[in-house]
């Protein structure tokens, strides 16, 4: 309400409108401030979560670096002894034995004796492994083995089926990877033969570069080979199993007799 110069009282209606406008502006300001606070708090939480993830990844990377160092150390400790190291250690006692003994002046020295082990023409010792003779070769050390070898001839198909398990026998090897090849031979036959799966043989043996039946095992895998009736499988008496590593190195070679049972 307002009083004019002549003393008349007048009512001003705009005051209520201004008051309502001020209340609306205050409410909008408070809502905007609340929204901005909510968005800021949310961005802050996401930033903290990202920082924790980065710290966790950095910790994992540092732990991986430590594991690689420990793995290198273990490989250096358990590295297999090379053939030259074994030969040098084997020759060391013989060199010490050849040292001439100290003789007194009163006792005459015995006549020198020929050292048979030092003869240059001595033939190398043959190493027998899995029934095969390897001239001067180190014995095979295979991380896998063969179990449950079975053969059967189908009564209707006439095909020869060979089955066996390839097992991981190395406790330090988490997974063994390689491939298997079977060569069928008649009784008394050392050369030639039928390869399963069909691969080219060199001197009656696979070289390891062929593609056999692959396996990748932590425990074991059962493999099967089949020779059709057209190959006349009844003439074979020996099955030679070749196991090669992933790089083509020969892990094992073993002969098994073929004594098939008739199956449906």
Q: What is the pLDDT of residues 98-146, one digit of tens each?
A: 545 555 445 555 555 554 444 444 444 444 444 444 444 445 678 999 9
Q: Is residue 131 part of a domain?
A: no
Q: How far is CA 102 from the centre of its chain?
A: 57
Torsion angle (degrees, nearest 10) of CA 224, 229, 231, 236:
70
Give the chain's mean pLDDT.
76
Q: Is residue 88 part of a domain?
A: no
CATH at residue 250: 2.60.40.10
Q: 3-class SS at 77?
A: helix
Q: Which residues span the domain enclosing 183? A: 144-263
In terms of domains, do 171 and 257 share one?
Answer: yes
Quick one: 201 exposed, middle or buried, by C-beta within 10 A (0-12, 13-18, 19+)? middle
In terms of domains, do 71 and 161 share one?
Answer: no
In terms of domains, do 258 and 181 share one?
Answer: yes
- Of 79, 107, 126, the last residue of a domain is 79
Q: Is the pLDDT of residue 172 over 80?
A: yes
In terms of domains, do 154 and 67 share one?
Answer: no
In terms of domains, do 150 and 250 share one?
Answer: yes
- Closest Cα partner for 193 from 220, 222, 227? 227
Which residue in this structure is represented by tokens 């005051």? 15
In terms of domains, do 259 and 168 share one?
Answer: yes
Cβ(137)–Cβ(127) under 8 Å? yes
Q: Could you read off the pLDDT of 209-244 as tens digits, one per residue?
A: 988 999 999 999 999 999 999 988 888 999 999 999
In terms of domains, do 64 and 173 share one?
Answer: no
Question: Given this model, what pLDDT does residue 55 score?
Answer: 84
Q: Is residue 114 part of a domain?
A: no
Which residues make Cβ contacts (< 8 Å) with residue 249, sequence separation at least 6? 208
**Distance separating alpha carbons of residues 147 and 222, to the nearest angstrom:** 9
- Please report which confidence band the pLDDT of residue 260 belongs to, taking 50, 70 and 90 as the band edges: confident
Alpha-carbon separation of residue 102 from 98, 108, 110, 114, 185 (angstroms): 12, 11, 11, 19, 62
What's the average model confidence in pLDDT over 149-165?
91
% of residues, the chain, pLDDT over 90 = 35
- Of 54, 79, 104, the last residue of a domain is 79
* Number of domain units in the chain: 2
């Amino acid at each position: 309400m307002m009083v004019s110069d002549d003393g008349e009282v007048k009512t001003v209606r705009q005051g209520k409108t201004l008051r309502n406008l001020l209340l609306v502006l205050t409410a909008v300001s408070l809502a905007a401030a609340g929204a901005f606070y909510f968005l800021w708090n949310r961005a802050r939480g996401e930033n903290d979560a990202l920082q924790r993830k980065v710290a966790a990844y950095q910790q994992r990377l540092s732990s991986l670096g430590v594991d690689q160092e420990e793995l290198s150390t273990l490989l250096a400790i358990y590295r297999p002894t090379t053939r030259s190291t074994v030969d040098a250690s084997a020759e060391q006692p013989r060199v010490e034995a050849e040292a001439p003994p100290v003789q007194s002046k009163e006792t005459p020295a015995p006549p020198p004796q020929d050292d048979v082990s030092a003869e240059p023409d001595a033939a190398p010792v043959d190493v027998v492994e899995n029934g095969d003779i390897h001239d001067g070769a180190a014995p095979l050390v295979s991380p896998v083995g063969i179990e449950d070898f079975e053969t059967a001839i189908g009564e209707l198909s006439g095909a020869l089926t060979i089955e066996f398990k390839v097992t991981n026998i190395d406790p330090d090897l988490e997974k063994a990877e390689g491939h298997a090849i079977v060569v069928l031979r008649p009784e008394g036959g050392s050369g030639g033969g039928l390869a399963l799966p069909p691969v080219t043989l060199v001197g009656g043996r696979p070289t390891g570069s062929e593609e056999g039946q692959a396996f990748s095992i932590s425990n074991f895998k059962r493999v099967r080979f089949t020779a059709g009736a057209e190959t006349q499988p009844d003439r074979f008496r020996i099955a030679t199993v070749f196991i090669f590593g992933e790089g083509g190195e020969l892990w094992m070679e073993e002969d098994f007799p073929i004594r098939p049972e008739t199956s449906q």
